[in-house]
Amino acid sequence: MIELSDVTYTYKTKYQTVNALDGVSYRFVPGRFYAVVGSSGSGKSTLLSLVAGLDTPSSGSVIFNDKDTRNLNRDKYRLEHVSVIYQSLNLFPLLTAMENVTFNLEYKGTRGSKARKLASEKLESVGIDKGKHGRRPSMLSGGEQQRVAIARALAANTEIILADEPTGSLDSQNSTNVIALLKELAASENVCLIVVTHDPEVAESADVVIRLSDGKILEIIDRADSQAYVEEELQPSTYNIAIPSPEPVNPQPQTQPRPHPQQPSQQEPIQEQLQPQPTQRRPKSTRKSAPEPITTAPATTDSEEYSLEDIMKEFGKDNW
């Protein structure tokens, strides 16, 4: 239906040149729910604007039904082939829910009772009962306003529906309901639904997830074609990552044998180190130096006699 062929989109600022999209190629088909995800600045909104015909690529081609959008009347292309669901909804505040849906129908030439009947069918298909068809947006909840915006896009009967963060302003319950509704309508209405989102729940519900990074397609997950890949390859890889994690977390098995087998081996070198220590202390102790005169005194008795004779000679026998 619509195909991007080596699409590059470049814009210049005062300080730099930015490649919002860089060589993107992909083919979208009807009846499928696509989720385009990625961080801010990855090129999601630029891709959406090129598919919507709001601009043309710097290089490459956006082809709709075998025709380059450069060669199409893009105003007519948007009116007849593309509907957009905005994050801010863009409902007319002074028009009722019914009038918001019939406005586009009347602009395209479907008027009167036929337009109201078609609008009523689309509002009921998204869960807005007849009692609320005459209410203005301010009298509806956020989830109900989002459903009116979806009904308006469906009533336009276009082949392509683009949604920019359709759950961004909704609570979790309404987000779940809108996601389920979009998924169902993509298949039942046979439309090509392309949703730009940061919501992981939306991505998980999509048939195809296209992940952008720095203007390039980083990853494509087609759940219909690669379900086996997701279940058999990605999940075991996560288990392999989780298995070694307990080992560093629980070092106790490695340290358990320390008290029994390692204690004797550690004590032996300690004793060996302690044994030479007393031998080093003995020559330095005073106990060895103290008995030295005692051991020499009895061993050298001659030296004591000579010393007495010398004393007697010096002082005289009578004085002694």
- pLDDT score at 172: 81
Give a yes or no: residue 154 inside a domain.
yes
Give a yes or no: residue 120 inside a domain.
yes
- pLDDT score at 29: 94
> How far from the centroid of its chain's Cα atoms is residue 181's Cα?
26
- pLDDT score at 25: 96
Q: What is the rounded distance in angstroms from the CA atom of residue 137 to the CA atom of residue 92? A: 8
Indicate the helix (H) or strand (E) that contains 194. strand 192-196
- pLDDT score at 178: 84
Contact 194, 30 (CB under 8 A): no
218 half-sphere exposure, CB direction, 13 A CA radius: 12
- pLDDT score at 154: 87
- Between strands 67-68 and 59-64, the pairing is antiparallel
Q: What is the rounded distance in angstroms from the CA atom of residue 112 to the CA atom of residue 104? A: 13
Q: What is the CATH number of the domain that holds 224?
A: 3.40.50.300
Residue at token pair 């009533």: 155
Give a yes or no: residue 16 inside a domain.
no
Q: What is the rounded distance in angstroms from the CA atom of residue 120 to the CA atom of residue 144? A: 14
CB under 8 Å to 149, separation ≥6 — which residues? 85, 86, 89, 90, 91, 166
Give a yes or no: residue 281 inside a domain.
no
- pLDDT score at 299: 46
- pLDDT score at 7: 96
Using a 10 angstrom Cβ sphere, with 0-12 exposed, 13-18 middle and 19 or more buried, the burial of residue 297 is exposed
Give a yes or no: residue 256 inside a domain.
no
- pLDDT score at 315: 60
CA end-to-end span of the chain: 143
Instruction: Provide the residue range defining the domain that includes 91.
Output: 29-59+69-229
Sign of CA dihedral 122, 123, 129, 135: negative
Query: How many domains are there within the chain?
Result: 1
CB under 8 Å to 90, separation ≥6 — which residues? 149
Give a yes or no: residue 3 inside a domain.
no
Give a yes or no: residue 266 inside a domain.
no
pTM, two decimals, is: 0.67
Q: What is the rounded distance in angstroms from the CA atom of residue 29 to the CA atom of residue 176? A: 24
The stretches in the chain having pLDDT less than 70 are 226-320
Q: Which two tokens stand for residue 272?
A: 């060996």
Give a yes or no: residue 313 inside a domain.
no
